[in-house]
Amino acid sequence: MRIGLTTFAARSVAVVALAGTAALGGCASASSVTVQQEQQVGADYSRQINAQLPLVRDAASNDYINELGKRIARVADPRGIPYTFYIVNSDVVNAFSIPGGYVYVNRGLIERASNASELAGVLGHEIAHVVDRHSINQMAKAQNANNLLGVLGTVLLGRASPVVQQGAQVAVQVGGSAIFAGFSRADERQADHDGVIFETRAGYNPRGMVTMFQKLVTEEQNSPGRLSQFFATHPGAQERITNVQAEINATPAARATNLTTDTRPFQSFRSRLRTLTPYPSDRK
């Protein structure tokens, strides 16, 4: 539903990767980052995140979310880059994606999904952030001659700089307290819009995006504060629900009756996830 890591330190980690491949020359513009560079940024960044987040390691669970996610990514990203999907073992409700096709969904969000189309809606939205290059654009803008030089020095010397250490701390918080600086409202709108298209194209009912969002809004209303982290990074939830609903109403393909709402594999996946190791104590 949300996301893209866009805090300063998070960007800095990615700049480490960019520095290795991008020419030194002041600010990089978004368009100057090639697909290959984006993939390298994502791979490096993902390695750092994976080393610190409590990921679900269960093979069957990972197979399921990758199968579902890749089915959507295949019809969403014209660049044909490979995507990888991870389950973060955290009961905090959230999801995020980083450049290059890496998508993370917290267990707390998956467990609140009632059917496959609701999870597919979350994945469609996150994939849209990658396809639309929202976070790589922000990272490219964040670069400047100073930090690029400093980071390049770090890469050449092969030792961790304060920048890298700072990035590491932020990554840990992704699973714990889910601190994000959100995308712009325009980026979120675009990801919602494209998410509907991608989910529909993959054969899933985009109403899942609406019902998932409504459910979270209702839970927050009934138990104020429980999803405060999610709503802090997702302003305008009601408006987004209205927009997505309007798009579905205006799109014949999105209203087709043969779209999938739920599947048996999804229900098995969710049940299995519940039997796995309990949440780490990430609410402090």
Interacting residues toward Zn ion by CB under 5 A: 2-3, 188, 191
CB of 21 to Zn ion, least distance (A): 27
> If residue 73 lies in a helix (H) or strand (E), which one and from where to where?
helix 59-76
Is residue 130 a contact partner of residue 191, using CB atoms and an 8 Å limit? no
What are the start-end ranges of the E strands in the chain? 84-88, 95-98, 102-106
How far apart are CB 97 and Zn ion at their closest, in Å?
8
CB of 277 to Zn ion, least distance (A): 28
Token pair, residue 271, equals 């049940």
Name the phi and psi angles at 95, rounded to 5: -155, 150
- Helices (DSSP H) in 22-161: which residue ranges? 35-52, 59-76, 107-110, 116-131, 134-142, 145-157
How near is the Cβ of 23 to Zn ion at its closest, in Å? 31
Query: Which CB sits closer to Zn ion, 2 or 207?
Result: 2
Q: What contacts 21, CB < 8 A, 6 or more positions away?
A: 36, 37, 40
Query: What's the one-letter identity of residue 163?
Result: V
Return the number of the residue (2 or 112) whose C-beta is nearest Zn ion.
Answer: 2
Least gap, CB of 216 to Zn ion (angstroms): 13
Q: Which is nearer to Zn ion, 135 or 211 (CB)?
A: 135
Considering the complex, state which of residue 3 and residue 227 has its C-beta at the smaller distance from Zn ion. 3
Single-letter amino acid, residue 12: S
Residue number, 19 or 178, with CB nearest to Zn ion: 178
Beta strands at 102-106 and 84-88: parallel, antiparallel or unpaired: parallel
Per this entry, what is the length of the chain? 284
